[in-house]
A and B are shown apart, each in its own frame.
Chain A
Amino acid sequence: MMTLHTLNRAPSHAALLADCLNACHRGDALLLLEDGVYCALNSLETPLQLPDDVSCFALEADVAARGLSGRLLANVTLVDDAGFVQLCCDHARSISWF
């Protein structure tokens, strides 16, 4: 069973983002929430580079709140609160990067 990583800071927290991505293993999932959803902005000068075989999700309410609907990378899947719970259930453990 793989790990769910949650990240809640903007990509300006570069060291945090790097620590999180470096800690992702093949098959893990990354869920962006709160200000973490800015990491998936498709217009970033340095776009999010996901490790191989890591799936990326973003919490829909946080995306809409920040005006980012339609501005995220195509490989990011939106989830609602129920989807958040499901991701927690589907993974053996979770790590919060904050």
Chain B
Amino acid sequence: MSHQKRFLVISRHPPYGSCHARDALDTALTSAVFEQPVTMLFMGDGVLQLIQAQQPAGIQQKNLAATLSALPLYDIEQLYVCASAMQQRGLKAEDCVLPVQLLDSNAIAELIRQHDVVLSF
């Protein structure tokens, strides 16, 4: 019996200043554990989560990027980033801890339409 819905998790906040980024990631992982197909989209400051070489021990936090890089192990391989957010911050796909695909705003609007449930953090 299959009760699958397509989930899109949108993550728009930087990694450590608030709990939003961690909440987005926990939600994506939980959905995947329940065998729901999950897509993640990083927009705005959310793309800052993907910067390599994060060392948050000095601020007593867990490394978010380390958990992010485990997403493919949970079969979350549909990973997208907002191209203009990357450009504004001078980041490139090869700067990221994960293989991501860049989307322009039209493609983002289309991506949202392709999902049953959209959760924004």
Q: Which residues of A contact B (CB under 8 A)?
A: 8-10, 12, 34-35, 38, 41-46, 60-62, 64-69, 71
Contact = CB atoms under 8 A, between A and B. Distances in A.
Contact of B52 (A12, A42, A44, A67): A67
9 contacts: A10-B14, A34-B17, A38-B14, A38-B89, A45-B90, A64-B58, A67-B55, A68-B51, A71-B51
B118 interface: no
B87 A67 contact: no
A12 B90 contact: no
Contacts of B120: none
B90 A64 contact: no
B117 interface: no
Q: Is the interface of A mostly helix, strand, loop or mixed?
A: loop
Q: Is the interface of B mostly helix, strand, loop or mixed?
A: loop
Interface string B77-112: 000000000011111000000000000000000000
Nearest to A61: B58
Interface residues of B, number: 22
A67 B51 contact: yes
Contacts of A43: 89-91
Given A35-B14, A66-B56, A71-B51, 10 more contacts: A9-B17, A10-B45, A35-B16, A35-B45, A43-B91, A64-B58, A66-B14, A66-B48, A67-B52, A67-B54
A66 B58 contact: no
A34 B90 CA distance: 20
A12 B13 CA distance: 10
Nearest to B88: A45
A67 B88 CA distance: 17
B61 interface: yes
